[in-house]
Structures are given as structure tokens and as C-alpha cells.
Amino acid sequence: MKDFAKLVLSQTQDHSEIKTIKPVSGGSINESFYLETEQQSYFLKYHDFAPDNFFYYEQEGLELIRSTNSIQVPEVYSYSDEENYAYLLLEWVEGTKATRTENQLGHLIAKMHQTEAKRHGVDHKTFIGILEQPNQLYNEWVDYYKECRLKRQLDIGIENHHLTGKRRNRFEKLITRLDQFIPKGIKPTYLHGDLWGGNWLVGPNGSPYVIDPSFLYGDRHFDLAFTELFGGFSHDFYQAYSEQNPPESYYEDVKELYQLYYLLVHLNIFGEVYGGAVDRVLKKYIG
């Protein structure tokens, strides 16, 4: 790995000696390393057989979030999607949580969600975990969510036999009735797309950072719903978010419907351990 790290660093302005390189935990897709040179510290993500543009889309998402002048993201120093040479080299982010860290996190995510776009979706494929997501741009969020998110997970679930029988029937009914639950006219805003508790960090001076986006334009409540699915966000976060950008009145009606997408992703990646949660959401909306 040291020879690989030297090759990666040759693509940057840092030509100093490597002092430390060691694996770090976190994530189930890439190998990750802490890399320290005489000049600075880095976070290196590596994948032997990354899909086409895998790291390109991740760095693009980080830069789009940076462009909102809201929540901080790590600096991207270099990346590659070449076979056997796929990596992403980032700034190493490390700090100690301050009293107002999670309050800042809520305000800054809310501010990111106030950056509006023209249409919902994105104009290229993205990835959620190891799953490829087809995308297009739509005028209405409900159409994007139906065509590019839920139908894709339906196809994968049928193929891997996680969506069968009553579960499949309920899901197909839900897709046909989606516009009964999701209103029209939702404004598209900049979204992280994979906003769970493991995808934010504490940086210098207690400042929050977000990492690992699966970027898209869409309903901001889609991000917000995922924060409530697996935890990792405090009361201070939600209070601060609401002060900056209060959720719309329909949020509670669609929250579990938006969480369903992420539950389906986990079902299709990790298996039946998430099946019960999927069934509970489908029963709530379809019966």
C-alpha cells in the first residue's frame, strides 16, 4: 500500500516523505487508510474494481455541496476511476465536538437545503452503497422518486428475490398510488442523498462536516427523513434545523414513505434482516 500511496501523492503538490499509513474502520465498500506525510494528513479510499465514475461522482457531490456555502466538506486532492487504480484522496478531518456542534449541523444542513435547483434528480447515474442508481431530471419530485428511486429498487428486489408475494404486490400498488401521498409543486433543493449518522464528522474547532454524498436535487424532506431512520442526530440538530428551515406540514405524512427507499436499499444489499421494516411501511400506506 505504501507504493500505491506514493503513486497517489504524485498526483498532488505533496512530494514529502510518507510518515504513516494505516487502515481505518468505517464503511463496507472501500478500503480506507489514514495517510500522513511530512506536509499533512489525508484520508485515502481505495477500491480494486470500482464501477465507472464511482469516485468521480463522489467528488462531484462534495463540490456541489461546497458550492452552497453551508456545511463544510473535506477538500478533494485527487481521484481516479481507473481499473486497479480507483481511489479518492481527501483532507483528513478530525476534531473534538463542541457545545454547539450539533446545533451548527442542524443550521448548516437547513441552509444547504435552502439552495434551490431547477429540476429534481440529476443528469447522470449515481451510487448508493454498491447499488447503481439511474437518474434523469424531472419537473415534479413525485415523478423522479417513482421512476428513478422506487422502481429501481423494485427491479433489484425482484431479481434477487427480496420482493416477492404480498410484499411485491403491496409495493407495486404503492408505486401506482404515489401521487396520492406526495404533493406536486415541491421545490428542488440541493441534497446530500445519504445523510445518516455515519456520514457527518466533527472537524477543527468543533465544526461539522459531511462526507460520502449520493448527491441529487429534490425534496429536502428526503434527506431529513433519513436522518430519523437510523439515529445519529440529536434533539439539538432538529431544533436548529427547524429554526433555520422549518419542515413543511406534509413532512410527517411522507417521512416513512421516504425512509422506505433507504430500507429497500438495505434489504437489497444486506438481505431479509430489513424485510420486516419494509413490510411495516408498505402496510401503513397500502394496508
Distance CA 203, CA 265 (A): 29
Hey, is 131 helix, strand or coil?
Answer: strand
The burial class, CB within 10 Å (0-12 / 13-18 / 19+), for 166 is: exposed
From the list 235, 225, 237, the residue with the least C-alpha distance to 200 is 237
Q: How far is residue 183 CA from its own chain's centroid?
A: 23
Residues 120, 140 contacting (CB under 8 angstroms): yes
Question: What are the beta bridge partners of residue 162?
Answer: none
CA dihedral 184→186→187→191, nearest 10 degrees, is -130
From the list 44, 40, 20, the residue with the least C-alpha distance to 32 is 44
Task: Write down the catalytic residue from 3, 48, 155, 194.
Answer: 194
Residue with cell 466538506: 73
Q: How far is residue 287 CA from its own chain's centroid?
A: 30
Catalytic annotation on 194? yes
Length of the chain as a residue count = 287
Active site residues: 194
